[in-house]
A and B are shown apart, each in its own frame.
Chain A
Amino acid sequence: MRTFTLLLLLGTLWLGACKEKTYVYEVNEVNVLPNNSEKDKEKSIPQFISILYANMYQQALSPDQMVDISELIASIGDKQLAYEVILAKFVTDPDVQIPSDTEMRNDIEQFVIDTYKRFYVREPTEAEKTYFINYINSRPNVSPLMVYFAFATSDEYNYY
């Protein structure tokens, strides 16, 4: 009986020693976007073209189209030029998703933020935002297409 009591006591102590207090931590929701200095990997041709297509059409490029367009880019020595002419072909397609001029000018700041997120996957800095707001405001002939074209053919867009 004494032995049984001793074992029971030891067992109770053992179980009690393993019991751990549980803590639950929570974090605030934060939208994490890279800044441009972290983009140091050059996009491959298929990566570039599929991302460009997705940015312009808001839908995925089919595998067949990706192969065709990748081959086309490989057939032109100046890659920057190749990207430009491929994009210039995209923008002739009515299915391309580009905001209207009115939409852009109704809220230029939001347009600039959206464009940075769309093409650079990041927020603009204050300096960048100010530059584009001023640039678009001061030039009535600048269209959303022209802004998109500048972003999609810029150096930063070629890296991730």
Chain B
Amino acid sequence: MKRRDFIKKTALATASTIGMPYILPSGRLFARNGVQMAGHVVFVMFAGGIRQQESMLKRYLAESQGLNIEGNIMYNMLPGAPPELKIVYGVTSQDGQPGGQPIDPILDTPLQLQGTLFQESRYSAGGTGHYTGLVTGVSGNYGVTQGLQARPQNPTIFEYLRRHAGFKATDTWFIGNGISGSTPLLNYSAHSNYGSQYGANFFAPNVTFGEQGQNHLKGFRQFHPEEELGPIQEMREFLNQNYMQVGRNIPNLNNTEEEVADIKNFIESTFERLDNGQIAFPPVTDNGDLSTIGYATEVLRWFKPKLTVINMSAVDSCHASYTNYLQALHRGDHGIAHLWNFIQEQIPEMSGNTLMIVQPEHGRNYASNAITDENDWFSFDHDSDENSRRIFNMMVGPCVDANLLVGSPDNPIGDAADVVPTIAEVFGIKDQVLSSGYLQSGAMSLFDRI
């Protein structure tokens, strides 16, 4: 072959290989249209309803209780000095003051300085309710007709990734902080083109490994893979084939047999590690959010998922106790820092290759309600006033600029529905997701907002 012919044919072969569509497990042809920006994404829904005043604006008691005391109680995420007076957000101090001892920072450099902060974004449609907010976070659509106790109407980011990027079931995880309030329904939508077969695996680990799990799951029998499971599967296959003739089977996530075995091994191992005190809980773990973060580190360590979504909610105590809200806010910051630190230091496969996104599902009212707590401080609801539509978004990882501040209170940039197209862009399927027709009108990747 002549040199020129060789070069020509090699170039053509290379070009055709690059442009060649992948055949996904779903059977659908697909060509990735973007460059993958990170190997893993961890999206923390810092949910429950956070006011900008106590978070981004660091106003502590100054814009809620009429006390001129400001300060930053999220010092792992944000730069700035903590308050010096009326410290209630920490752990019990040595002299017995409840909340009087702030939790030691975990990170030397706050996440804001390591990444990009959209300090003033919007929750732009629908009522500021938790489930609507969570649905928006995972589906990129406010679904204003979305009901409670129902799966999201529009496809979730898990389904987009499994269908269009070919992720397997254990590549995508949703870690919920409980099973109340429709939380377990967020791992896949009711959409007829997507649904359970593209859903994410889900744990509410405080239940799975909590009292219920201890009583009814721990110590379950692991069947021998060949001698026992093999015949069981053969017999079950026969039974299912007979029943399949009437066209029904159990809705499932399409975990392969290997993935099912892996998840069972994970459950068994987690109970063992729990007994041995080996779960990497944050240094302070005294609420459900923090234990959820601890178990989430186990999921990350074991499965190294491509997408993990973690849900918190303790700040919602603000309906009845502003003091508890401050404590939950401070602990949320602590948990997020622990999570980030764990990824960087304990999971080599994810270290330096993980984008973390943090976003509340919505804000809280500007005006208080009439309920006062033990400090005589007023509480706050979330009734869709303008203040409850104010949120923030923080991204940190290999593909974002460090120490970049985007937007301001006078110039809000970003929307709660933007996270889904952002994650889609990270994994190279932004065009498919944007053109699906299921996103909120105007939703776009945060990278395109910068």
State whether the Cβ of A133 lies closer than 8 Å to any Cβ in chain B.
Answer: no
Contact B240 A155 (CB under 8 A): yes
- Chain B residues with CB under 8 A of A154: 236, 239-240, 243
Shortest distance from the beta carbon of A110 to any chain B beta carbon, whole Å: 18
Cα-based distance from A37 to B243 in the complex (angstroms): 8
Which A residues contact B (CB, under 8 angstroms)? 36-37, 39-40, 42, 65, 68-69, 71-72, 74-81, 84-86, 88-89, 91-92, 128, 131-132, 135, 139, 141-142, 146-147, 149-151, 153-156, 158-159
Q: Mark B193-221, 1 if CB is under 8 A from A, else 0.
A: 00000011111110110011101111111
Cα-based distance from A159 to B247 in the complex (angstroms): 12
Cα-based distance from A74 to B221 in the complex (angstroms): 20
Contact B239 A75 (CB under 8 A): no
Smallest Cβ-Cβ distance to B184: which chain A residue:
A74
Cα-based distance from A156 to B212 in the complex (angstroms): 27
Cα-based distance from A39 to B247 in the complex (angstroms): 11
Binds A, one of B103-111, B117-125, B249-257: B249-257
- Chain A residues with CB under 8 A of B208: 72, 75-76
- Chain A residues with CB under 8 A of B227: 141
Known: A78-B253, A85-B217, A85-B267. A72 touches B235 (CB 8 A): no
Known: A72-B212, A141-B231. A92 touches B219 (CB 8 A): yes
Contact B264 A81 (CB under 8 A): yes
Contact A150 B235 (CB under 8 A): yes
Contact A78 B216 (CB under 8 A): no
Contact A72 B228 (CB under 8 A): no
Residue pairs across A and B with Cβ atoms less than 8 A apart, 14 shown, are A37-B246, A68-B211, A75-B203, A75-B207, A77-B200, A78-B253, A80-B260, A85-B264, A85-B267, A135-B238, A149-B232, A154-B236, A155-B243, A155-B250
- Chain B residues with CB under 8 A of A135: 231, 234-235, 238
Cα-based distance from A74 to B233 in the complex (angstroms): 24
Contact A131 B179 (CB under 8 A): no
Shortest distance from the beta carbon of A66 to any chain B beta carbon, whole Å: 11
Contact A79 B220 (CB under 8 A): no
- Chain B residues with CB under 8 A of A147: 235
Cα-based distance from A40 to B249 in the complex (angstroms): 10
Contact B250 A79 (CB under 8 A): yes
Smallest Cβ-Cβ distance to A41: which chain B residue:
B248
- Chain B residues with CB under 8 A of A149: 223, 232
State whether the Cβ of B36 lies closer than 8 Å to any Cβ in chain A.
Answer: no
Known: A76-B203, A77-B203, A85-B220. A71 touches B263 (CB 8 A): no
Among the listed B176, B216, B221, which residue makes an inter-chain contact with A91, where contact means beta carbons less than 8 Å apart? B221
Cα-based distance from A143 to B274 in the complex (angstroms): 33
- Best-surrounded residue of B176, B233, B248, B264 (most CB of chain A within 10 A): B248
State whether the Cβ of B189 lies closer than 8 Å to any Cβ in chain A.
Answer: no
- Chain A residues with CB under 8 A of B267: 85
Contact A68 B221 (CB under 8 A): no
Residues 151-177 of B contacting A (Cβ, < 8 Å): 169, 174, 176
Contact B228 A146 (CB under 8 A): yes
- Chain B residues with CB under 8 A of A85: 217, 220, 264, 267
State whether the Cβ of B435 lies closer than 8 Å to any Cβ in chain A.
Answer: no
- Chain A residues with CB under 8 A of B231: 135, 139, 141-142, 146, 150
State whether the Cβ of B244 lies closer than 8 Å to any Cβ in chain A.
Answer: yes
Shortest distance from the beta carbon of A147 to any chain B beta carbon, whole Å: 6
Smallest Cβ-Cβ distance to B233: which chain A residue:
A150
- Best-surrounded residue of B169, B213, B217 (most CB of chain A within 10 A): B217
Cα-based distance from A81 to B268 in the complex (angstroms): 13
- Chain B residues with CB under 8 A of A88: 220-223
Cα-based distance from A7 to B239 in the complex (angstroms): 75
Cα-based distance from A156 to B174 in the complex (angstroms): 28
Shortest distance from the beta carbon of A55 to any chain B beta carbon, whole Å: 15
Known: A85-B264, A149-B223, A150-B235. A74 touches B250 (CB 8 A): no
User: In the complex, given contacts A76-B202, A135-B231, A155-B250, what are 10 additional A-B residue pairs having Cβ atoms less than 8 angstroms apart?
Assistant: A36-B246, A37-B246, A68-B215, A74-B204, A75-B179, A79-B250, A84-B260, A92-B219, A142-B231, A151-B235
Known: A68-B212, A69-B216, A155-B248. A36 touches B243 (CB 8 A): yes
Contact B207 A128 (CB under 8 A): no
- Chain A residues with CB under 8 A of B199: 77
Contact B212 A71 (CB under 8 A): yes
Cα-based distance from A36 to B267 in the complex (angstroms): 34
- Chain A residues with CB under 8 A of B203: 75-77
State whether the Cβ of B242 lies closer than 8 Å to any Cβ in chain A.
Answer: yes
Cα-based distance from A71 to B221 in the complex (angstroms): 20
Contact B255 A78 (CB under 8 A): yes
Contact A155 B239 (CB under 8 A): yes
State whether the Cβ of B72 lies closer than 8 Å to any Cβ in chain A.
Answer: no
Among the listed B174, B221, B239, B248, which residue makes an inter-chain contact with A77, where contact means beta carbons less than 8 Å apart? B174
Contact A72 B213 (CB under 8 A): yes
Shortest 4 CB-CB contacts between residues of A and residues of B: A77-B202, A75-B207, A150-B235, A75-B204
